[in-house]
Amino acid sequence: LKSRWLASDMAWRRRGGCNEGRSMTAHPVPDTLGRPREERGDAGNLELAALVPGAAPTGPTGLAPSELSRRQAVRAVASSIFQEEGAWKRTKRFSAVLLAVKLLQGLVFVFYSQVHKNFSTALEQRNISGFYRGLWVIFLLVLVALPTIAADEFLTLFLQRMLRIDLTMRLSRLYLSSAGGGSAFPFYRLQLTSDIDSPDQRICDDARDVCEFLVKTARDLLESVVLAIGFSAVLCMQAPTIFFFLIAYVVAGTLVVALGFGPRLAFFQNQLVQQEAGLRCQLVRVSESAESIAFFKGGESEWRRLRKAFTVLFEMVQRSVYVSAGLSAFNKCYGIAVLAVVPMLVGPRYLRGEVEFGMITQVNMAFQVLQNALMLIMNKTSLIAKFLVSVRRLHELEAALLSGEHAGDSCIASVADFAPEGPVALRIHGLTLRTPPKTGSLQQTLVAGLSLQLQGGQSLLIAGASGIGKSSLLRAVAGLWSDGGGRIEKQPAKAVFFLPQRPYMFQGSLREQLLYPQVACRTIEDSLIEEALRQVNLGHLLQHHSLADSKEWASMLSPGEQQRISFARALLQRDLQLTLVDEGTSACDPRNEAHLYELLKGLSRSYISVGHRQVLLYHHSHVLWLHRTAPVVGRQGPAACELLLATEFERLHGSTAWAQ
């Protein structure tokens, strides 16, 4: 449904629903005294045009069919495996070798059936010389077969690992980089706009299952074709009636399994995968929030929630067991039911002296081998159902990473036009910011028609009530959110730095934590890193840890210490022109917060902050105040924007605006 909505949404945008150059009507925002914004004079070279428009245009509701069939999904995933450079050539080479091995195995097996026929006849006739001659031939055949069996297993495992590496690398690159030609942050955009669950499980587990199934099934199918051709000739020559009976018998059984058991197995497998993913997600959340849960003594509550989810999962497992057991019983009974066919049709001929005893064993062997070859699909029904679920999940992930939802619906033009030493640090023109589209929720317009210019040396505090769109506006400036319209001009990416509320702390050395994301950089001396730690009042870490120590820093450091690590990262950057602080000091005490902002003033030429503390006014030259307007047609409209000098904002609003 999401892909259908996006297709219609893109068409709607092409018809003019999202046009960067569309006309707008500006409405001056009065202050608390009722005076228009223009009467209060210029706010220190910061220019603002704030709009309070009516209802924002909504997206279309028409849906266009875009559901892919299972066959198309399998074809798309299979072709995706060979997108890596050289993957198809390597696969062809090893597949050719595997084909040669399987042909040799088939010839050995067919020849063995003839040897076994003579051996059984010699045994029945008490022919001593024929008996020992047969033993020697069987021994030689075993010596020939052993290397082919070893080569078969090696090539199968090697192809599985090779294809899995190729597919995992491709999906990981699409997930973590902009290789797909979409968003520069596909992993982030996927979280915002898509209902794709557990991308990590899809990239690791589903990719493994798909590659293993494809290689094993291709090998088994190749083996079945070789053996079927060889032993079909044996059966046709010795007992043609049995051959045609077996063909009809297996086709009937395959249809019963495919139409009767296949859809049910696929349904249960899909449900099990989703419910298991939800169960793992709950356990991960408990691990991430262990301290809060322990503080509220919420272990029993979490156990009840987990037990409820597990009960649902267990019921689904139980229902799937019934279907799987029924399928297994049907396959075994269906196979056992034909055991009497060979003795019934060939036995009378042997009793009449028309054939040798060895022919019965050869025909029986050919019958069993051909039966197993033809019943390949029946025996793999459960695996096929699991494979189709994994294919669908991989196809959904790749389609989401490659689709136009990451690029086609983005109307905000974000460009790096300014020279690092230029007079302007940031310019926003006619910005309309909307929440990213997501299935099941309507897009909201957070800000409409915002225009401002931030000069070098100025600082801006974005203030307003929680949930009004302060952090979202900062994300748009950073280039993370791009749904809406207008234009954002800023410094080059290397001159812009981001300080989030929850800094990313990964498993690695202390040196790598401070150099992130350039963890491989070796041009920064250890003395500079240690000095950065001391500047943010984290010098005590050096008393207990070296820069090479690798720890779980996210659990060792408090939230305030992690935010100071983030500021230390900024200190190690060169020539910062613009720093974006998204409540980057909210976990710090007032003394450290003031100290960090003093460091920031000397570090970055300009900076923009989001925060709720009134003390932040004293660290910024201007305030952009976002506040609610009257609801439009029963829903909340975009926020009104008011720009003031920090001193003027405090004089006009005092602590009132912060309390809203």
pLDDT over 90 (residue 306): no
pLDDT top residue among 220 and 15: 220
Choose among 457, 442, 502, 452: nearest CA to 477.
452
Following CA atoms 574, 576, 582, 583 in sequence, which dihedral angle do they give, to the nearest 10 degrees? Answer: 70
User: Picking from 16-20, 377-381, 535-539, 589-593, which range would have the lowest pLDDT averaged per residue?
Assistant: 16-20
- Between 306 and 539, whose confidence is greater? 539
pLDDT computed for residue 107 by the predictor: 87
Mean pLDDT within 507-520 = 86
Q: Are 37 and 52 within 8 A, CB to CB?
A: no
Question: Residue 57: is its pLDDT beyond 70?
Answer: no
**Residue 584 has what pLDDT?**
92
The answer to whether the pTM exceeds 0.75 is no
Closest-CA residue to 32 (of 652, 646, 650, 625): 652
Amino acid at 207: A
**Element containing residue 453 per DSSP (H, E):** strand 445-455
Looking at residue 528, its pLDDT comes to: 92
Burial class (CB in 10 A: 0-12, 13-18, 19+), 610: buried
pLDDT tens by residue, 568-619: 999 998 888 999 999 999 999 999 999 999 999 999 999 999 988 888 999 9
Spell out the alpha helix ranges (H) of 25-125.
70-81, 87-124
- First-residue to last-residue Cα distance in the chain: 38
How many helices (H) and strands (E) would you count in the chain? Answer: 24, 13
| Residue 134: both structure tokens together | 């047969």
Q: Is the pLDDT of residue 242 over 50?
A: yes
Q: Would the pLDDT of 400 be above 60?
A: yes
What is the per-residue pLDDT for 28? 35
Does the pLDDT at position 361 exceed 90? no
**Domain parsing of the chain, residue ranges:** 70-402, 413-654
The two structure tokens encoding residue 349: 């001929």
Split at pLDDT 50, 70, 90, the class of 532 is very high
Mean pLDDT of 207-213: 91
Q: What is the pLDDT of residue 623?
A: 93
Find the angle CA(209)-CA(215)-CA(221) to the nearest 5 degrees: 125
Q: Which whole-number Å values give the CA distances from 6 to 183, 185, 439, 637, in the listed order?
A: 15, 19, 9, 23
Which residue did the predictor score with more confidence, 230 or 542?
A: 542
Provide mean pLDDT across the span 512-538. 89
Compute the distance between CA of residue 350 and CA of residue 357 in angstroms, rounded to an integer. Answer: 7
| Phi, psi of 425, rounded to the nearest 5 degrees | -95, -30
Look over the chain and give the mean of its residue pLDDT values, rounded to a whole number. 78
CB atoms within 10 A of CB 336: 9
More confident of the two residues 227 and 206: 206
Peptide bond into 500 cis (omega under 30): no
Q: What is the mean pLDDT of residues 215-219?
A: 90
Q: In the predicted model, is pLDDT for residue 59 greater than 50?
A: no
Q: In CATH terms, is domain 413-654 a member of 3.40.50.2000?
A: no
Query: What pLDDT, in 10s, does the model give residues 86-133?
Result: 888 888 888 899 999 988 888 888 888 888 778 888 877 888 888 888
| pLDDT tens, residue by residue, 618-642 | 999 999 999 876 655 556 678 888 8
pLDDT tens profile 174-187: 888 765 555 567 88
Percent of the chain residues topping a pLDDT of 70: 82
Q: How does residue 233 score in pLDDT terms, banded at 50, 70 and 90?
A: confident
70-402 is a CATH 3.40.50.150 domain: no
The per-residue pLDDT for range 407-465, each reduced to its tens digit, is 444 577 767 666 666 788 899 999 999 888 877 677 888 888 899 999 989 999 999 88
Q: Which pLDDT does position 420 carry in this prediction? A: 63
**Better-predicted residue by pLDDT, 4 or 106:** 106
Tens digits of residue pLDDT in 160-175: 999 999 899 888 888 8
